[in-house]
Structure 1
Amino acid sequence: MQQSYQFTADDADIILRTPESKLFRVHKSILSIASSVFKDMLAVPQSPSEPTKEDECGLPAVDVYDSAEDLEVLLRMIYPVAFPPIADLNTLSNAFIILDKYHTVGLQERLKPLLVSPPFLTTDPMRVYAIACRWGFKVEAAIAAPYASAIGISTFTCVEDMRYISGLDYHRMALLAQERREIGRGEILNKPATCRYCPQSFYDNFRPRLVERLLVGSEMFRDFGACMEVCFEVAKETENKHGAANCTHGRSHLEQFVISLAKSLQNMPTGQNAAA
């Protein structure tokens, strides 16, 4: 981590020492306010640390059993310094664990928006859902549920997080996936074309292929833009194989159909009860 604050303050009154022998010179008052665990831990008299190159003042030292990376994330959330950079779900999951371990108050709330941010939702929604279920984050689980149901549990490779998805949570997600597929299939196959002069044969070929791409493929209902992109890709493939959809009014009616369909799919059930 490249933040300017390095936990080497001259006015620190205690040292936290990790298994890697990394030393964090910190302040009892700040730790005690943020964490009841630190408060109880620091109430016990500590022996002076042995002088080292990093510390020559003989401050009391406390050995902790958290990695230096995890402890630094915790301290950066406790201290009034720059928010810790969390670029992957491993770091984020560990952050929730250590915040819970030290009984910090309110700090998990700061990380919830990050958990359901687009980079994580689109790349690993099943794990986002699992983490939300683990900590009882109902709103975040509901946000992740449609993304996770689109991908499917067969792609879930993190066994450690998977154990926190209860049978009930998984059943709810399976029901959501089934409901969304049924509604989506009906929307795609039955939504009327906007122009009665457009070749019906085009839509007869276009609709089944679109069902396959959106309901079986990994792009299913990711977001409005992704849905639109897939629709136009399938339209182009259909035109190349079976002929164009253009009528005397040009291509605009196909575009209107695709936009209307994408909006309908975007408004399908989102799983507000997927982790109740």
Structure 2
Amino acid sequence: MSELGSTLQRLLHFVYPVPHPTISSLDELVTILEAAVKYEFLGVITSLRKQLISPDFLSNDPTRVFAIASRNDFDYEAQVASRHTLSIDMFNCPLSDDLRFITAHSYHRLFVLHKKRSADAQALLKIPEDVKCLQCSGPYYGAFVPPKWWKEFERMAKAELATRPTTDVIFSMPFLARAAEGSGCPRCAGSILDAHQFLSDLKRRIDDLPSTI
């Protein structure tokens, strides 16, 4: 046996009929998982798969969770992790050694998910003509002119969705406040409040886009 004694001790804690230990880091989980796979401890593997997609791991390092799941052919866990990678700038996140062990096919699927969801979300950024600002929008020579806050929101939202194709940021109050401030119109803040139903529907439509590989 080439495994360290501490790894085997943790592994055996999963095997014996005692409460399973909580894994505190992905490094520790990977080490124990490798040993469990080597000795074909299926019950231990099942327990570790559940811990792999714990909220802390998914929040702190979803790309690495995806890599670990893909490397071990954990399809469900890879799908869960892929959804959480949407909340980060995947192409500027720190590299982990685990990415070295996944196939180009797995990484390509994740890349396609981000790219397609980003494009589809940006395509939904359309405003109906009944959303107006009392000061800066309205008919202009027969054509609809959207509120200035929308132009600012659309510009910022497209930039955000290009890197993180989720609604976590673009419908937050600070983000909407920036759109109102950037418009330069004193009444645009009120227009945003009046457009709450439209914004809620838009958020739901983006949230309903496919979000896993």
TM-score bin, normalised by smaller chain: 0.7 to 0.9
Quote the Cα distance in structure 1 between the aligned partners of 2:200 and 2:62: 25
Of 62, 67, 78 in structure 2, the residue corresponding to residue 130 of structure 1 is 67
* 2:210 counterpart letter in structure 1: P
Q: Which residue of structure 2 aligns with residue 266 of structure 1?
A: 207
Q: In the TM superposition, what is the alpha-carbon distance from 1:153 to its structure 2 partner?
A: 4.5
1:98 partnered with 2:35:
yes
1:169 partnered with 2:106:
yes
* 1:140 counterpart letter in structure 2: E
1:204 partnered with 2:147:
no
Q: Secondary structure at the match of 1:66?
A: coil
Q: Is the 8 A contact 2:133 2:188 kept in 1?
A: no
**C-alpha deviations, 1:115-159, integer Å up to 9, x for none?**
122211121111111101111011111121233354324424222
Quote the Cα distance in structure 1 between the aligned partners of 2:169 and 2:41: 41
Q: Is the 8 A contact 2:117 2:165 kept in 1?
A: no
Q: Which residue of structure 2 aligns with residue 5 of structure 1?
A: none
Cα pair distance change 1:101/1:193, threshold 3 Å: farther
Quote the Cα distance in structure 1 between the aligned partners of 2:92 and 2:21: 32
TM-score (structure 2 length as normaliser): 0.81
**C-alpha deviations, 1:202-251, integer Å up to 9, x for none?**
111211112212333xx542xx6x346x542221112223234245xx75
Q: Is the 8 A contact 1:191 1:261 kept in 2?
A: no
Q: Which has the higher contact order (CA 8 A, sep 6+)?
A: 2
Q: Which residue of structure 2 aligns with residue 245 of structure 1?
A: 188
Q: Is the 8 A contact 2:36 2:44 kept in 1?
A: yes
Of 138, 145, 160 in structure 2, the residue corresponding to residue 213 of structure 1 is 160
1:235 partnered with 2:173:
no
Of 135, 152, 163 in structure 1, the residue corresponding to residue 90 of structure 2 is 152
- Structure in which a larger fraction of residues adopt helix: 2
Quote the Cα distance in structure 2 between the aligned partners of 1:238 and 1:175: 29
**C-alpha deviations, 1:97-119, integer Å up to 9, x for none?**
11112211232112222212221
Q: Secondary structure at the match of 1:106?
A: helix
Q: Is the 8 A contact 2:63 2:81 kept in 1?
A: yes
Q: Is the 8 A contact 2:62 2:84 kept in 1?
A: yes
**Residue ranges of structure 1 left out of the alignment (5+ in a row):** 1-63
Quote the Cα distance in structure 2 between the aligned partners of 1:193 and 1:113: 48
Cα pair distance change 1:101/1:220, threshold 3 Å: same
Quote the Cα distance in structure 2 between the aligned partners of 1:87 and 1:255: 41
**Residue ranges of structure 2 left out of the alignment (5+ in a row):** 138-146
* 2:111 counterpart letter in structure 1: A
Aligned residues: 199
Q: Secondary structure at the match of 1:132?
A: helix
Q: Which residue of structure 1 aligns with residue 140 of structure 2?
A: none
Q: Is the 8 A contact 2:149 2:182 kept in 1?
A: no
Quote the Cα distance in structure 2 between the aligned partners of 1:234 and 1:180: 20
Q: Which residue of structure 1 aligns with residue 128 of structure 2?
A: 192
Q: Is the 8 A contact 1:245 1:251 kept in 2?
A: yes
Cα pair distance change 1:192/1:114, threshold 3 Å: farther
Quote the Cα distance in structure 1 between the aligned partners of 2:16 and 2:36: 13
Aligned sequence identity (%): 24
Q: Secondary structure at the match of 1:190?
A: coil
